[in-house]
Structure 1
Amino acid sequence: MIDQVAARLLMTIAETPGGKIAASVLDDFYPRQGKQLMQTNLLAPLGNTFAAPLDLDHGDEPLPLIWSGEHGCFGYYNPAAVWITVRPEKLTIFGVNMPVLLARMLAQMEVVGGAEPLALVPDAVWEIGNVRLPGRSKPVPLWVARRLSDPDGWSAFVAATRLRPAPGLRIVLSTTPAVRLPKQMFEGHEIISVGDVADRAAGIAVDPALLAARITNGSPQADVPIAVSADGGSVTVRGKRYTFTGQKHRAIIRHLHDAWKNGEPECLTEAVLEAAECANSVNTLTKAFSGRKDWQEFIKVEGGRCWIQC
């Protein structure tokens, strides 16, 4: 078990370019949390480094280490020309043990078929498989990604989605904190920071109920007039929330929202209904949304065309 400070530290390390941290940093600043992460095998030694990470007396600048034949060890000279020995154990670099991290992160999740994670982008994006969530009749595809706030990391993720398009909804759990995730919605994907849906009593394990609620409720942004969850099931228009449970309703919402985001909101109604795989007899949005009228509060229809108006 790791505490919440250790969990946050682990997510921070996972966001570094190599997912690495020097033993000296753990020793000097996070001794208790570092011990927890090493004892649970979430951090594993990678090898040695030959630069002390921090010089707290000189602006936190890295200090190069040199080998001293006289002292038989690595170290450095301080400004007073006094030799400072760096203990061998402080030379070690630790890296996030991703297989262990993924296993612990998904410990409470039911992965259909029990498939092993597949690295779609080496050390960056993993396909977990389909997972069952409370309140959802069908399993949902799940990926895990790290460093989505980094331009190269985001580009690699986008490239992976193009090779393996989302089948309607895909959950992406990210080690990136929510405040640093890209602001734009990404078609078919609900990107969620692990820290937002973790079971606080279980360290980094994702709580399926929290995750299901997050998917159902979506994550509307305060600076946009309309926000739609990745599956189209939750729509928030200027603070008012609408919920759609029908598969065709969700497909219509997603289609119109994508058009709205792309700056060309007007769509041929016939094309929208066809994309949602409505029956031939369903030739109007009124028929498609039979039984409810609230959709008319933000979807307009005129002359064979329809669009979101907010």
Structure 2
Amino acid sequence: MVGRVELQLLLGLLEAKALRFTHEALVDYHGEWGQRLIDSELMLPSGYDTTVTDEKDDLAYEVGYDNRKGALGYHHPLRGWIGVPQDSLRFYVPDLAAIFALLLGSELRPLPTEPNPLEGPAIWDVGKARLTNTELRDVWFARRLSDARMFEMLERVVQRRPSQQLRLVLTTTPATRLPDRQVPGHKIVPIDDVLSNTNIGIDIAILRARFGGQPPPPGAVLHLSEDNRVLTIHGKQLFFRKGEIIRSILRQLYDAYPSGWIRTSEVLQKACSAASSIDQAFGARWHEVKSFIEQRGGMCRFNPYLS
């Protein structure tokens, strides 16, 4: 049985450049947590390594089978024959069907089989899930979206396989590392953002809320999404996937709008910011919002008609 530590390790491993791991990487480096991923069959054996790195001289040696000794090992020029346990030579690969059975369980339709690869070891069609009250929606999995090439790959796959309905893309890439741009018709949700606080897996209620976030009301001049990540001003959308401080400031300003001003020092303190002003807290993104955030006499507010 895997716990929260093993699940976080697994999500991190799925961001690796290559989805093939040595026994050393899983067990020697990650210890009992890596072993539990193997024991739970979330990592499956997939062939053997043919070389090993000697722990004393840090050089690679070819592994062979000695018929007289009836064992695997290698010949060291100074220390002679050195045996190597067969298990230590195993490669392991993630079992995506088992992983999504763990994450989503019976929410997937059909029940998890082997996910269908859409592009290399990067993007898969996982199945469908009931993400709204009435409809099943496509669920994809994409990894390493912080890599510009991987994100562009996702955009190309979307162009080849467009959808008339909003499609969910789950990713192991943390929210803080996602590019600040959208893929039209697709909702990208980091798995780590929607994990349950009580069970091992995704909290489907949180996932549905993230997927079905309410759009701005018709004619709304200013609107901030429930997760504080999308600010709509005069119909233009600004995305804030990174920066807890910025999102906290946006939420405070939005909750105060349009009733009036709020004290800047209190806003910054609540956002856990060490900045001395709102523009300083926004940093490089200030130019995007300065035309509708007003500051005066130690106070601040949203003002969509400022410019």
Partner of 1:102: 100
Q: Is the 8 A contact 2:167 2:187 kept in 1?
A: yes
**What amino acid is the match of 1:22?**
T
Hey, what's the Cα distance between the residues in 2 that align with 1:33 and 1:45?
17
1:1-310 aligned at under 5 Å gives the runs 1-52=1-52, 63-67=60-64, 69=66, 72-75=71-74, 77=76, 81=79, 84-107=82-105, 109=107, 111=109, 117-133=115-131, 136=133, 138-167=135-164, 169-203=166-200, 205-215=201-211, 216=213, 217-218=226-227, 220=229, 227=238, 239=250, 240-241=253-254, 298=304
Hey, what's the Cα distance between the residues in 2 that align with 1:68 and 1:115?
39
Partner of 2:262: none
Partner of 2:265: none
Instruction: Name the SS for the 2:6 alignment partner.
Output: helix
**What amino acid is the match of 1:51?**
T
Give the C-alpha shift of residue 122 in structure 1: 4.3
| Structure with more contact order per residue of length (Cα contacts < 8 Å, sep ≥ 6) | 1
Give the C-alpha shift of residue 32 in structure 1: 2.0
Q: Is the 8 A contact 1:177 1:195 kept in 2?
A: yes
Hey, what's the Cα distance between the residues in 1 that align with 2:230 and 2:59?
39
Instruction: Name the SS for the 1:120 alignment partner.
Output: strand
Give the C-alpha shift of residue 68 in structure 1: 7.1
Q: Is the 8 A contact 2:27 2:33 kept in 1?
A: no
Give the C-alpha shift of residue 77 in structure 1: 3.9
Q: Is the 8 A contact 2:54 2:61 kept in 1?
A: no
The percent of aligned pairs where both chains have the same amino acid is 24
Question: 1:44/1:62 Cα in 2 relative to 1: closer, same or farther (>3 Å)?
Answer: farther
Gaps of 5+ in 1: 230-235, 243-262, 264-296, 301-308
Question: In angstroms, what is the RMSD of aligned CA positions?
Answer: 3.8
Partner of 2:243: none
Q: Is the 8 A contact 1:170 1:188 kept in 2?
A: yes
Question: 1:51/1:176 Cα in 2 relative to 1: closer, same or farther (>3 Å)?
Answer: farther
Hey, what's the Cα distance between the residues in 1 that align with 2:60 and 2:177?
30
Q: Is the 8 A contact 2:101 2:112 kept in 1?
A: no
Hey, what's the Cα distance between the residues in 1 that align with 2:239 and 2:171?
20
Instruction: Name the SS for the 2:118 alignment partner.
Output: strand
Give the C-alpha shift of residue 66 in structure 1: 3.9
Q: Is the 8 A contact 2:137 2:166 kept in 1?
A: yes
**What amino acid is the match of 2:103?**
M
Hey, what's the Cα distance between the residues in 2 that align with 1:169 and 1:3?
32
Hey, what's the Cα distance between the residues in 1 that align with 2:176 and 2:39?
30
Question: 1:76/1:186 Cα in 2 relative to 1: closer, same or farther (>3 Å)?
Answer: farther
Instruction: Name the SS for the 1:202 alignment partner.
Output: coil
Partner of 1:273: none
Instruction: Name the SS for the 1:44 alignment partner.
Output: strand
Question: 1:148/1:138 Cα in 2 relative to 1: closer, same or farther (>3 Å)?
Answer: same
Q: Is the 8 A contact 1:51 1:62 kept in 2?
A: no
Structure 2 length-normalised TM? 0.61
Partner of 1:248: none
Hey, what's the Cα distance between the residues in 2 that align with 1:57 and 1:201?
45
Question: 1:29/1:129 Cα in 2 relative to 1: closer, same or farther (>3 Å)?
Answer: closer
Question: 1:155/1:83 Cα in 2 relative to 1: closer, same or farther (>3 Å)?
Answer: farther
Give the number of aligned pairs: 234
Q: Is the 8 A contact 1:6 1:36 kept in 2?
A: yes
Question: 1:166/1:23 Cα in 2 relative to 1: closer, same or farther (>3 Å)?
Answer: same
Partner of 1:256: none
Structure 1 length-normalised TM? 0.61
Give the C-alpha shift of residue 105 in structure 1: 2.0
Hey, what's the Cα distance between the residues in 1 that align with 2:55 and 2:198?
34
